[in-house]
Structure formats: C-alpha cells, structure tokens
Amino acid sequence: MASNPVITSNKRPLGRLFSYARTQRRFIWMAITASVLNKIFDLAPPVLIGAAIDVVVKREDSIIAALGVTDVFSQLVWLAGATLLIWGLESVFQYAQAWLWRNLAQTIQHELRLDAYAHIQDLELAYFHEQSSGGLLSILNDDINQLERFLDAGADQLISVMTTALVVSAAFFILAPGVAWMAMAPIPLILWGSFKFQRLLAPRYAHVREQVGLLNGQLANNLSGIATIKSFTTEDYERARIEHVSSDYREANRKAIVLSSAFSPLIRMVIVLGFIATLVYGGHLALEGELPVGVYTVLVFMTQRLLWPLTRLGETFDLYQRAMASTNRVMDLLETPIRIDNGEQSLEPAQVAGAVHFDNITFGYPNRDPILKNFDLKIPAGATVGIVGATGSGKTTLINLLLRFYEPQSGKLSVDETDISKLDLTDLRRAIGLVSQQVFLFHGTVSDNIGYGTFDASAEEIERAATLAEADEFIAQLPQGYQTMVGERGETLSGGQRQRLSIARALLKNPPILIFDEATSAVDNDTEAAIQRSLNRVTRDRTTLIIAHRLSTVRNADFIVVLDKGGIAEQGSHDELIAANGDYARLWRVQTGDIGHLAD
C-alpha cells in the first residue's frame, strides 16, 4: 500500500467547520452568548473595587450615593449585594459555557467521525490502494481529537479575549478618554503581530499533521506485519525506519515550536509598555486631581485585565492553528468525490437468474497498462465456470469488475442483460457472494462471523451453512463450539479453517451468483475433496465462478476458461480441454503427476 499523505487544501477552515456544524448552530450561539456573559461578569470586580474605594474616599458624594443610597454603610451593603449577584451570575455562565462548549465538542467530533467514516466506506476500492490505512486512521482519530481540544477550551478563550477588548475599551472611553488611548495603543500591534504569526504557523502545523499521518501509516503497517518482521528478524531495521519517520515528525513539530513559543514573550513586551504608560500617566493625572482615585484604580485593574489575557493569545492561536490544520484534513476527506456512481435500477436477489456478460471490456488499473483488452466472456445463468490461468493473468481482476470495485475503461459488463453500472450498487453486491482469496474474519464468535452480512439468520441456518462448507466438524471441536471467539482477524484459527468459515458465510447469504477466488488454496487434499462435494451441491441452482490454481477444483465445471495475460487462451469443458492438448492439458498432467508428458 502506498503511503501518500492525504492531500490537504488551505480553504478557510473555520468557515468550513461552521457550515458543516449547521445542525448545531443554536448550541454554538448559546455557547458564544454564555462565554460573552461569563466574561462580562468576570470583568465587573475591578469596577466593584473602584466603587468601594470611591465610597470610602468620597462618602456621601460617591457614585453609588448618586444612585440614591446616601448612607455610607448602606452603600457598602449595596456593594456587597451587587458583588454577590455578579459573582453568582459569573459562576452560572461559566458553568453554562463550559457545559455547552464541551458538549458541542463531543457532538461535533462524534458526528464528524461518523460522517468521515461513512464517507470513507463509500469511497471506491482504488482510493484505499492509494492511501495508507494508518494515514486515514490518523484523520479519523488524531485530527478529530485536535478539533475536540480546540472546541473544549480554545473557542471560549478566543471569545473571552474579544469580549474583554470590547468591554474594556468601551469602559475606558467612558471613564477616562484621555488615558484610554495609551492602554489601547498596543492592541493593533498585537493583532497585526498575531495575524502575521498565524500566517507563518499555519503551514508548519499542516506539515505536522502530514507527518503524523505518515508515522501512523508506518506503525499500522508494521503492527499488521509483525509476524513477517519477526520471522525475517528485521526488528532493528524496522525500528530504524520508525525512528526515521518519528524524527521527521519531531522535526516538523520543532519548526512549529520555534515560532509558537516566541509569541507570548514578544506580546508580553509590547503589553508591558501599555501597562506602564497607563500606570504612570494615569497616576500623574490622579495626583494632579484630574482623575478620581476610584477611576484610576479601575483603569489600572482594567488595563491589566485587558492586556494580560492577550499573552495567552499565543496558546489560543496555537490551539486554533492545530485545530484548523486538522479541520482541513477532515473536510478534504469528507469532500473527496466518490468516483463510482450508484446506479438507480434496483435488483431483487431472488429475481436474479445470474447470466453474466463481459462484453468487449478493456480495463487497466490506475497508472498501469491495460490488463484486459476487448475481453469477451458470456456466462449463462446457472452455469458453473472455472477460471484458471497463470498468476497475474487477470482472474481476480474479472471479479473486481463484476463487483464494481473498479470501472472498465470501455465495454459493458451486464448481469441478466442489465449494464451493472445502471444497477443500485448495494443490490448488485447483495446478489453476489464472494469467497475471497484473502479471508477476512472479524473479532467475534464463529457464529457471528458466519452470520456476518446475513444478520437475521437463525442458529440452525448458520449451522446448515457450516455443514455445507464442511466446517461443522472442526467447529464442534473448538472450546465453545459456535460461540468460540476467533480473535482479531480470526488469528486463533488455521488458514483452512478460516477459509471454510468464509465459505459458510457466503453460502448463508445464498446469493444467485457465487464466486470462489482460490477458496481451496489453503486446505489439504481431504478438505478440498470435502469442499468439492459441497460445491457440487451448492452450485446446482446458481451461477458460480470458481477461480483456482488447483485444476481438480474446477474439473466438474460446465466450462473452463483459461486466461493468459488478460485474454482467453482456451475455453471448454475439462474433457474438451484435455483433448485439445493445450496449456490446460499440460498443466493438468503436471498437477496430477502424469509427468511422462512433460516434455510435450
């Protein structure tokens, strides 16, 4: 499997995320409102402190007195009540914002992961051959988790900074327009710096995400090939390969860290200038009696409240940038077009007779020379066809086309006279049972694995299918019979046992078209004979394609097609092909040990 990184684009990620999260809009607005209110109440304490100083210094002439509370003690009680109320409300909105954002993060990551997974499943098989499964896994896991992390905390932080800037600026211009500009002066510089910083950081984080995809791809590949690594004692070699990709990942992160760590200290230096200016100039005005002491106190606290959170802007932008790099990767995946169109014509499996026609098909895998050229093959409904030929001659390719895993470049493939590209894809695949060369079992019991895809099957039906596939005997000997867990990918079973389970699975599906692709390659002669018997039984009333290297498997077929380099070299029944004395006859003699004729 190639390990190309998933292509990422730089479209506006936040917009893409919001348009994706349309269904959550109401909650997003509620969360934003809660964040804004929480911040507003959070900014009130400096005002309360200012008001308290004002009461103590000015007594009956204080601002609160102007509201009608003239007695000094009553003013303090009034302040205490206001403080309680404001802190209470701050707590309520803090809870609300945390609850809303964190739940939103959970909902969005859940839906995004499901959508991304569903979309990946619908992509054509060729896509999976181009991408590494570890890379895809890192999008489904890591990238979506980055997004969750940002929504958990980063979104609230960004809104807090913006709210603080707005509320404090307004307060400044009302209270002391003369000093306000000093506190505000650093803000444009900080914002300009932040945008510049973001621009520089974005590609570095995109690179980090790409590297993590490659690393995961390599890790997943190695873990699935662990037996090969051990048997070839290539542990050191593989460790070095992982070290290489892991170092690249670390290097990509270092390049991002160099920038992202510098941001907060730089911002702090700009901020401190604004803070000192307010402190000194405001103090001067208060000493001159031009600024009330209470207002001066509020200004100093507010300047601190306004400017210090900006130092955290670095962290927030960091979180934001990481999340946006991830968002782009997830969104690109969701927008990857599905290249195999679903046809509209429905097909009831029960009504399929099973005639298959490869009509003048030309096909080559992407970026490869054509393997099939003007290929013609007509299989009558109900026939059993053996397909044999040298390795790489195109046998499995025929199946890939019939299942529409790939589309032919020209020609028509039809089932019962209907072009399969016009058929509903699910209906087409439901009509075909495939026992593939690579058996895949799922983590679960024997019974689960036989019933996979035929979920409404009863225990009796499952057992009947197992009997037909000559699997019941070995199943009976397993510790828990049909309820024995088979392990991940069926690792606790032998190759032949796995193969027989997959045959049982296909038989249970009872499809009108049945395909065996090297189904007897991993079994001994006795089992092959047993499978042969069951084949004779199950092929009777359906179209069956049997791909085999072992010619004894196809001997009883109605006719046998011998492929050679993507074309048909010979065709006929076993007896006819033996009589023709061509490639088939020669191979038959080799396989049956009749090597006296090898010199032919």
Ligand X SMILES: Nc1ncnc2c1ncn2[C@@H]1O[C@H](COP(=O)(O)OP(=O)(O)OP(=O)(O)O)[C@@H](O)[C@H]1O
Q: What is the x/- site pattern for ligand X, positions 361-400, by CB under 6 A? A: ----x--x--x-----------------x-xxxxxxx---
Q: Which of 110, 129, 284, 339 binds ligand X (CB under 6 A)?
A: 129
User: Are 465 and 507 in contact, with CB atoms under 8 Å apart?
Assistant: yes
Minimum CB distance to ligand X smaller for 397 or for 544: 397
131 binds ligand X (CB under 6 A): no
* Least CB distance to ligand X at residue 206 (A): 29
**Smallest distance from the beta carbon of 385 to ligand X, in angstroms?**
15
Q: Which residue(s) pair with 385 in the sheet?
A: 545, 559
Question: Sign of the CA dihedral 580, 582, 585, 586?
Answer: positive
In terms of CB distance, is 62 or 397 closer to ligand X? 397
Instruction: Please say which residue, 216 or 396, places its beta carbon nearer to ligand X.
Output: 396
Least distance in angstroms from the C-beta of 365 to ligand X: 3
Comparison of 391 and 477: residue with beta carbon closer to ligand X = 391
DSSP three-state, residue 387: strand
Spell out the residues 6+ positions from residue 387 whose beta carbon is closer than 8 angstroms to its own.
Answer: 395, 398, 545, 546, 547, 548, 554, 560, 561, 563
Cα separation, 303 vs 43, in Å, equals 11
Pick out residues in 192-221 that bind ligand X (CB under 6 A).
Answer: none
User: Is the Cβ–Cβ distance between 201 and 256 less than 8 Å?
Assistant: yes
565 near ligand X, rule: CB under 6 A:
no
What is the SS3 assignment for 454?
coil
Tokens of residue 385, six digits? 């066809």
CB of 396 to ligand X, least distance (A): 3
Rounded to a whole number of angstroms, the minimum distance from the CB of residue 509 to ligand X is: 22
Nearer to ligand X, 97 or 393 (CB): 393
What CA–CA distance (Å, rounded) separates 116 from 330?
Answer: 7
With CB under 6 A, what is the number of residues at the site for ligand X?
Answer: 12
**Contact yes or no for 319/149 (Cβ under 8 A):** yes
- Closest approach, Cβ 235 to ligand X, in A, equals 29
In which residue are the tokens 């809870």 written? 95
Q: Exposed, middle or buried, 559 (CB in 10 Å: 0-12/13-18/19+)?
A: middle
Are the C-beta atoms of residues 598 and 590 closer than 8 Å to each other?
Answer: yes
Q: Least separation, in Å, of the C-beta of 397 and ligand X?
A: 3
Nearer to ligand X, 388 or 506 (CB): 388
When the beta carbons of 244 and 565 are compared against ligand X, the nearer one is 565
Here's the x/- map for ligand X, 329-368, by CB under 6 A: it reads as: ------------------------------------x--x
3-class SS of residue 516: strand
What would you report as the CA-atom Rg of the chain, rounded to the nearest whole angstrom? 36
> Do 553 and 532 meet the contact criterion of CB atoms below 8 Å apart?
yes
Do 482 and 446 contact (CB within 8 A), yes or no? yes
Considering the complex, state which of residue 101 and residue 363 has its C-beta at the smaller distance from ligand X: 363
From the CB of 400, what's the least distance to ligand X, in Å? 7
Instruction: Report in angstroms how near the CB of residue 387 gets to ligand X at its nearest.
Output: 8
Residue 130 or 427 with smaller CB distance to ligand X: 130
Which positions touch ligand X (CB under 6 A)? 129, 365, 368, 371, 389, 391-397
